[in-house]
Structures are given as C-alpha cells and as structure tokens.
C-alpha cells in the first residue's frame, strides 16, 4: 500500500554503520533506496546477504517511526472531528502540559516515552509517563537505541519472567522510577550492546568484502582459490584480503 507520508527519516547512525562496514557506495545506495521504497510502498526488497541485514536494521527504526506517524494521524483525526479544538479535560494530566519537563529542564513528549515502553512490552498511561520524566533520569536515557526502558524491561524479563504480566508491569514501573542498582549498571550494559552491534557490523562487512573477491588476475587469467587468497598460476600473483581496510591487495606468492 502506497504511503501517505511525504518522506522517510534516515538516522545519522544508519549511515555511520554502513560506512564503518566498508560497503561500497553502490551497496549503500542499494540499501538506502530499498529502505525508501519500503517506507513508501510497504514492499520488502530482495537483497542478498549481507545487504539484507543492514536493511533490516533500518527497517526496524522506520517501522517504529511509522507507528508514531499513525498515532499522530489518529490524534489529528480525533481533534478534527471535534471541530479542530481539543476537548476540555476534567482533570489536568500530570502538570497540565502536553509534554514532560524533567528536572534537567529537558522536554520529553508523552507519546515518545509511552511508545518506547510499548516497544519493550509494557503499555503505560500518561501519569506513568509523567513519573518517568520526573524520576531524575538523564533524558537521553529515556529513548533511542538501547534506552534505559529497554534495559529495565530486559532485567524484569530475566528475573521475573515467570510472574503474571500485571506483576511484571508493576516491577518494570518501579525499576524505572527508583531502582538505583539498575541506574548503576545501565551505562555498562549500553556500552556492551553498542560493542556487540559494532562487532556484528564488522563481521557483516568482512563477509561482504570476502564476497567481493577478485575472479581474474591483472593479466586476464582466472584466479584459483588457495586458502583465503586467490592466486594466478600464470604470473604468480596472489590477492589477499586486508582484514583491517577490507580491501583486496595484490602481491607475489
């Protein structure tokens, strides 16, 4: 189904990961075009490995952004049916504002915090979202890749996954609000996750580089594989992959 959006959000981190993976400009272009087409039409592209893995990384964020877009449309539709003016609330929610302002002076929209919690398996209301904004956490911890909410949800699942969902939710809310031990552990957990992602991207880049191995010698003869290198028996040249630069280099064998 063709999208009613007029554009797609590609994060800086996406380009950074693609560049660190040592992909060619052509491969990066294939991935980004596939992402844009997917966001516009909903059709999944046919990409070979490892390009498909990098596309899936971008697709995850695009799907999350689409959910936010759908929420915005629903809210606009609801307000439109009310004549373009929001109904008067019987009681103010939180501090009576549509956004959370925490002790750092940073403003966090309710939908962002609620969306992040939902992405990690817990549906929370606006009052709970307000309490998350006021619990003293750095605002950068509250959303984005490997957020504190993701960390808290993971710990609840690991330690209390056998408990009923309602009890898990209560523990999750309590953990985000006040569990100091989680706050101490979180920076290390996030660093570990980012390291794992970087290593995975490096491995994917290495596989991609190996797939791009030369098939012909500079003299035009076909190459034979010998262990991890490719050799020309005619002119005794060999081509080996530099695992640091991910480039194939020629030399004598």
- Over residues 198-244, the pLDDT tens digits come to 898 888 888 888 888 999 998 889 999 988 899 999 888 999 999 88
| Sole residue written with tokens 């596939």 | 34
Cis upstream peptide for 50 (omega within 30°): yes
Q: From CA 71, how far away is CA 145, in angstroms rounded?
A: 20
Q: From CA 134, how far away is CA 159, in angstroms rounded?
A: 26
Distances (CA, A) of 150 to 60, 106, 153, 164, 186: 15, 20, 5, 19, 10
Q: In this structure, are residues 148 and 186 in contact, taking their beta carbons and an 8 Å threshold?
A: yes
pLDDT band at 100 (very low <50, low <70, confident <90, very high): very low
Would you state the pLDDT for residue 151?
Answer: 93
**pLDDT per position as a tens digit, 106-159:** 545 556 788 888 888 899 888 888 888 778 887 778 877 889 999 999 999 999
Q: From CA 111, how far away is CA 73, in angstroms rounded?
A: 13
Handedness of CA 205, 206, 207, 211 (dihedral sign): positive
Residue 5 confidence (pLDDT) above 70: no
Residue 52 confidence (pLDDT) above 60: yes
Q: Is the pTM of this model over 0.85?
A: no
**pLDDT per position as a tens digit, 78-97:** 655 555 444 443 333 333 34
Residue 99 confidence (pLDDT) above 70: no
Q: Return the percentage of the chain with pLDDT > 70, whole number.
A: 83
Q: In this structure, are residues 219 and 233 in contact, taking their beta carbons and an 8 Å threshold?
A: no
- As a whole number, mean pLDDT of residues 171-198 equals 91
pLDDT band at 75 (very low <50, low <70, confident <90, very high): low
CA atoms within 13 A on the CB side of 250: 11
Strand-strand pairing, 99-101 and 107-109: antiparallel
Neighbours of 224 (CB within 10 A): 12
Would you state the pLDDT for residue 77?
Answer: 66
The residue that leads in pLDDT, 49 or 47, is: 47
What is the token pair recorded at 41?
């039409």
Would you state the pLDDT for residue 79?
Answer: 54
- Radius of gyration for the chain, computed over Cα atoms and rounded to the nearest angstrom: 25
Contacts of 92 (CB under 8 A, 6+ apart): none
Mean pLDDT of the chain: 80
CA atoms within 13 A on the CB side of 96: 4
Would you state the pLDDT for residue 96?
Answer: 39
Q: In this structure, are residues 45 and 230 in contact, taking their beta carbons and an 8 Å threshold?
A: no
Would you state the pLDDT for residue 92?
Answer: 35
CA atoms within 13 A on the CB side of 128: 20
Residue 3 confidence (pLDDT) above 80: no
The residue that leads in pLDDT, 241 or 22, is: 241
SS3 21: coil
What is the token pair recorded at 171?
């523990």
Would you state the pLDDT for residue 111?
Answer: 62
Would you state the pLDDT for residue 133?
Answer: 78
Would you state the pLDDT for residue 85?
Answer: 44
Q: From CA 42, how far away is CA 1, in angstroms rounded?
A: 6
């Amino acid at each position: 189904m063709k999208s009613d959006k007029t554009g797609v959000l590609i994060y800086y981190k996406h380009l950074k990961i693609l560049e660190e993976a040592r992909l060619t400009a052509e491969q990066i272009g294939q991935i980004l075009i596939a992402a844009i087409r997917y966001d516009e039409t909903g059709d999944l592209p046919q990409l070979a490995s490892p390009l498909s893995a990098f596309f899936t990384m971008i697709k995850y964020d695009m799907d999350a952004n689409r959910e936010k877009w759908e929420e915005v449309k629903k809210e606009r539709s609801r307000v439109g049916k009310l004549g373009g003016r929001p109904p008067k609330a019987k009681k103010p929610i939180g501090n009576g504002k549509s956004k959370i302002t925490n002790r750092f002076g940073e403003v966090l929209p309710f939908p962002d915090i609620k969306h992040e919690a939902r992405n990690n398996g817990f549906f929370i209301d606006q009052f709970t979202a307000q309490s998350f904004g006021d619990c003293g956490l750095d605002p950068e911890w509250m959303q984005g890749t490997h957020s504190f909410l993701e960390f808290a949800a993971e710990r609840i699942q690991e330690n209390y996954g056998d408990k009923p969902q309602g009890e898990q939710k209560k523990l999750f809310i309590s953990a985000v609000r006040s569990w100091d031990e989680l706050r101490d552990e979180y920076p290390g957990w996030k660093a570990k996750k980012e390291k794992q992602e970087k290593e995975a991207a490096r491995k994917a880049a290495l596989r991609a580089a190996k797939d791009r191995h030369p098939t012909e010698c500079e003299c035009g003869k076909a190459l034979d594989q010998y262990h991890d290198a490719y050799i020309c028996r005619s002119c005794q040249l060999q081509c080996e992959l530099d695992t640091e630069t991910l480039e194939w280099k020629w030399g004598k064998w």
